[in-house]
Every structure is written in structure tokens, then in C-alpha cells.
Amino acid sequence: MSFSRLSDEEVISYARFHQAHGGLVKESAEDFGISRTAASRRLRAFRERGLSIPPDDHSGLPDPEADAFAVERSEWFVEKQRLQDQILELRKQLREGRRHAAVSVDGPSWPVVEPGPRLNVAPAPAIRPPSREWKTAVILPDIQMGGWHDEHGVLHTTHDERALSVVRQAVRDIQPDKVIGVGDNLDLPNFSLKFVRSPAFARDTQVAIDRFTLFGGELRHDAPGAEIVFIEGNHEKRLTLWALQCAAAAFGLKRGAALPEDWPVLSVPYLCRMEEHGIEYLEGYPANTYWLNERLRVVHGDKVKGRGSTAHLYLGDEDRVSTIFGHVHRIEKAMKTREAFSGPRTVLAECFGCLCRVDGAVPSVRSGLKSNGQPTGGTMNWQQGFGVVEYQPGDGLFTTESVPIFDGRAKYRGQEFVGEGKEAAA
């Protein structure tokens, strides 16, 4: 959100909150649900506009609405602290390999795959996407959530924690109307029926499920008023195809007393508790399409051009609308103006890159494996980033902006986001 768009009431609201926290920017920003940079900008505007904090009570009489809001915020702070405690404990367990104890058998030990951890996500009642004619969507490209443990028991992730931290900071700062994941949010290499399945990845399917469940809860906490949609990509589709071909008797099974519309147990939205976080899952790859407005669609995509522009493949004669796509892990953009009944119309095809590692840690057709089944590493022609789309509903206009991430850092409209965590740490 542009800072100049904030009303005096919004600026004063945070200034009062900041004062109640003893003037500590870090603590008050975290509890208010905004970034430290956004908090500092609010305080600067408070001073530059010459505003003052009015007395809380002019009449000496109790204000029932204010008391109710105070109780609501108090309860939210308690729930927020519980969520943070859960997140810290889960991350500690993931780092130490204690999340799931393996069953001792003759041969390899495999943990049982189960749903991700249950999180009590309490959204901040004071944060809502602002009412505006142009809506805003943050687009998250391929994450490839997953990892493997080396011979020393150290977890190496295929996703990049610093990149995920950057997009979370951006979502908190922008407060978009929608957050759209374009697919391949999970990697699931050992559910592939096409490529060699390495035992180095087999034990860590649960790590991916747990981390993606946590990420969904974090996004809901960061953008409590946003519509969050995850599109199924070819990697999430692996779970469905594996169940059909390798565990047909278990395909479509649901927990007891489930409703017809409930997700099967062997499905990404069930395992990652998406409904509990208010997240929509759009299945049906490669036919699944999400429309931001009547002119712009979001797909995971099934087109790849190894040498050259994949974006131009989406500008063929059969593609008459603009497309945001994933799948290729490269930042690309192409436009074409074509003839239409109403006159010339320009269509666009754009990919915002990826949020996974680009050093060969992700299994791919161009990566290698060591004799112990672990990736050899190497440089991939991939780029990290995310996208911000502003659009008008209906048959309206839109504009896209690609935000590259370099070494865990990104800058968007003057705001710098520095990723926390390590590239290969869970």
C-alpha cells in the first residue's frame, strides 16, 4: 500500500498502539501485524503530518464498542503468541529431525506420512485489504517445497527459506486482495512415475507436508483478509497419479463420516490442512485455470522451451487472452498485439520465476545424483522472484510487475525486503 493513501485515523491508530508498547518499533510492529519498515513509515507520517494522539476517553463513560474491540485484540494477541510458539517449536523439531520418529524394521526406516501440524491461526482484526477500484494480487511461482537428509542427518531443502521470507514480508506490506500460488508448491520427487526415485528423498515427504502446512498458516496470518488460492501443478499431480497406479485400493479414501465434498486423505489440501487456513485449492492440472479478470488468467502451465522464450509459446493463435504461468522457473515476459473485433488488443504472457533453490538442489532433467542418491548441485538457468498484479474486475485493465530476488533480497517500489533464515535450512 502506498503510504500516502493511509488516512490520519490509520496513522494515529498505529501511533497509539506504538506508544502503548513503550515506543519499541520491533515489538509493536510484530503485534500490530505489519513489517518494521511499514511501522517506521507510519511513525514518520505521524510526525510529518503534525498529528496527535487524542485522549481515549472524553466523557468518562465506558465505551462498549471500544471495550469489545480491546477484548478482541487481547484475545488475538494471546492466539498470535500461541501460533508463534507453535511455529518456533515446529521449526526446531524439523531442524533436529524430531518431527516424526521412524519405525524400526529390518531395512530402511520410513516415517508414516500424515497431515501437517494443526495450527490455530488468529488473523489480526485491524488488517484488511483497503477498498480500492484496482485490486492487487501477489503471485507466488514454483516453490518446490521439500528436501533430503544427508549422511550426517542434516536437512537440505529444495525450497529457499530466504525467498519465502521475502514474499511473506511483501505480502504483509502490500496487504493484497489475493495471493495466488501458480503450482508446484510441493516437489514430491519420490511420487514421480517418470523419473528415477532416490531413497535420499523418500524419508522427507513429511518434511515437505509439514513445512507447506506451516507456510499456509503463515500466509493466512500475514494476509488475514486476502483470498488465498493454490493451483495444482504437475508435481502435486504426482500424488494423485501415484495413488491411481500404485495404491488403487486406497485412491479416493476419506476419513470416517466425511462429507461428499471433503478431500480424500491422499490429497494435498487434506494433508496440508488448507481448509483450516481458508485456502482454496484448484485441482485438475493441466486444465485448471484461475481468472483474475476477464482478460488475465493464471495457470501452472505445461509448455516448455529449453532454449528460447517459453512466454512466446503462450502467444500462439489459439491463445487470445493474457497468461501468467509457472513451470519453467524463469523470469520471462512477452507481448503481442493482435486483431480483434473491437480493434487491436495486446495480450501478455509472463512468468515470475521460482521460489526454490537454483543451485541444482531440486531434482530435474538437468541435475545429477551422487552414488548416495543426493543431488550433485550445479547452476540452473532459473531465476527467483514473485509478481504483483494490479487489475480491475470484469473486463478491466491490468498491469504486472516482476520482482526479482537476488541472494535473499528484493526491492519493490522503494521498499527493500531481506530474507531471513538460510538457503538450505528448514
Residue 69 has a pLDDT of 38
Report the DSSP pairing between strands 227-231 and 178-181: parallel
Please check whether residue 424 lies inside any domain of the structure: no
Residue 276 domain-assigned (yes or no): yes
- The whole-number pLDDT of residue 98 equals 54
Question: Does 105 fall in a domain?
Answer: no
- E strand spans, 125-177: 135-140, 147-149, 155-157
- Distance between CA atoms of residues 296 and 52, nearest Å: 44
What are the two backbone dihedrals, phi and then psi, of residue 281, each rounded to the nearest 5 degrees? -115, 120
Closest C-alpha to 163, from 357, 330, 327, 329: 357
Check residue 129 and report its DSSP letter: P
Q: Which of 54, 69, 94 is the last residue of a domain?
A: 54
- 166 shares a domain with 31: no
pTM exceeds cut of 0.85: no
> What is the C-alpha separation between 41 and 421, in angstroms, rounded?
25
pLDDT of residue 58: 38
Across the strands, what pairs with 142?
A: 354
DSSP classification of residue 323 = E
pLDDT for residue 74 = 46
Phi and psi of 390, rounded to 5°?
-110, 135
Cell of 314: 503462450
Kindly state whether residue 425 falls inside one of the protein's structural domains.
Answer: no
For residues 290 and 376, membership in a common domain is answered with yes
Look at residue 57 in the predicted model and tell me its pLDDT: 40
**CATH number of the domain where residue 406 is located:** 3.60.21
pLDDT of the residue at 117: 83
For residue 66, the model assigns a pLDDT of: 39
How many domains does the chain divide into? 2
Measured over the CA atoms of residue 425, residue 29, residue 213 and residue 331, the dihedral's sign is negative
Q: 222: domain range?
A: 127-418
DSSP 197-251: PPHHHHTTHHHHHHHHHHHHHHHHHH-TTSEEEEE--HHHHHHHHHHHHH-GGGT
Query: Which residues in the chain land under pLDDT 50?
Result: 1-3, 56-74, 76, 101-108, 125-126, 424-426
Residue type for 74, please?
S
Same domain, 215 and 354: yes
Answer whether residue 102 is part of any domain.
no
Q: Are residues 363 and 259 in the same domain?
A: yes
- What's residue 80's pLDDT? 55
Distances (CA, A) of 235 to 46, 141, 193, 249, 289: 48, 13, 11, 22, 16
pLDDT score at 59: 38
CA 300 to chain centre: 14
Residue at 213 is within a domain: yes
Q: 205 lies in a domain?
A: yes
Q: Are residues 246 and 376 in the same domain?
A: yes
Q: Are residues 158 and 291 in the same domain?
A: yes
Pairwise CA distance, residues 151 & 156, whole Å: 11
Q: Is residue 93 part of a domain?
A: no
